[in-house]
Amino acid sequence: MKSQLTPQELKVVELKYQSKQIGNMDESELSMWGKALLMKIHVITGWTIPNSPELLNILIDQFNKYLSEKYFALNTDEMEYAFRQHGTIIEDWGKAMNLNLLDKVLIPYINQRLLVSEVEEKLKNVPPPQKIFTQDELDDSQREDAELQYQRFLKGMDLKGVEICKAILLKDNLIKEDESVIGFFKRRVEKGSSNIYIKHQ
């Protein structure tokens, strides 16, 4: 996945899983993180926060509700990152912090996150590269099948599709053109062969 994404996109993917989503926080967690996040946004952007405790409490309350209603899929690490990346380029220094200002940062981040998530899902669903077998590997696989069939024959087991083994037996000059595979197996048994391809040391 790393080779398919830019460093910035990789950072977004990493942050998605770094901490608990807003929507999964309980009320006490949201209250704690919401207040801390407001302070960090204030420091990053320079947006002012109310000096009045009453107004500050209202801002924190509305901010927490706003997060849980609109940005519940994000976590606090993502939100800090969004403001570090985009909050400093919005020309609203000195403005009082409000929900509209927050949207100016978080909506572009959400859009970026959606695009990165789509790429992430596509990369997750890419099937692994298929191995292309060499002719020698294919032949060895057929030899294993022939040996397996022969061992089944020695044990008196039912054989199915045994004639498919004839091609490799012909290629290895082990069977006669007009001979059936069962006939070949019987001939090997008469010779006392315990194997076709495997030789015990």
- 131-155 per-position pLDDT tens digit: 888 999 889 999 999 999 999 999 9
* Domain-located, residue 199: no
* pLDDT of 5: 78
Asked if residue 141 and residue 77 are part of one domain, the reply reads no
Q: Are residues 139 and 99 part of one domain?
A: no
Residues 147 and 100 in one domain: no
In this predicted structure, the answer to whether residue 169 has a pLDDT above a threshold of 90 is yes
Same structural domain for residues 53 and 89? yes
Q: Is residue 200 part of a domain?
A: no
Same domain, 143 and 90: no
Last residue of a domain, one of 72, 95, 124: 124
Which domain-ending residue is among 124, 156, 175?
A: 124
Query: pLDDT tens digits, residue range 7-59?
Result: 888 899 899 999 999 999 998 999 899 889 999 999 888 888 888 999 989 99
Say yes or no: 58 and 110 in one domain.
yes
Q: Does residue 125 register a pLDDT over 80?
A: no
Average pLDDT, the chain: 87
182 and 116 assigned to the same domain = no
Range of the domain at 183: 135-190
Same structural domain, 97 and 143: no
Q: What is the pLDDT of residue 96?
A: 83
Whether residue 145 is contained in a domain is answered as yes
Q: What CA–CA distance (Å, rounded) separates 105 from 84?
A: 10
Distance CA 10, CA 131 (A): 29
The pLDDT of residue 45: 85
Residue 109 domain flag: yes
Q: 47 with 119, same domain?
A: yes
Separation of alpha carbons 100 and 107, rounded Å: 10
Give the total number of structural domains in the chain.
2
Statement to judge: residues 141 and 181 lie in one domain: yes
Claim to verify: residue 162 and residue 109 sit in the same structural domain: no
User: Is residue 160 a part of any domain in this protein?
Assistant: yes
Give every CB contact of residue 185 below 8 A, 6+ residues apart in sequence: 149, 150, 153
**Model-level pTM?**
0.58
Residues 111 and 172 in one domain: no
What does the pLDDT read at residue 74? 94
User: Does any domain span residue 197?
Assistant: no
Of 124, 147, 163, the position where a domain reaches its end is 124
* Phi (first) and psi of residue 48, to 5 degrees: -80, 150
Please report which confidence band the pLDDT of residue 90 belongs to, taking 50, 70 and 90 as the band edges.
low
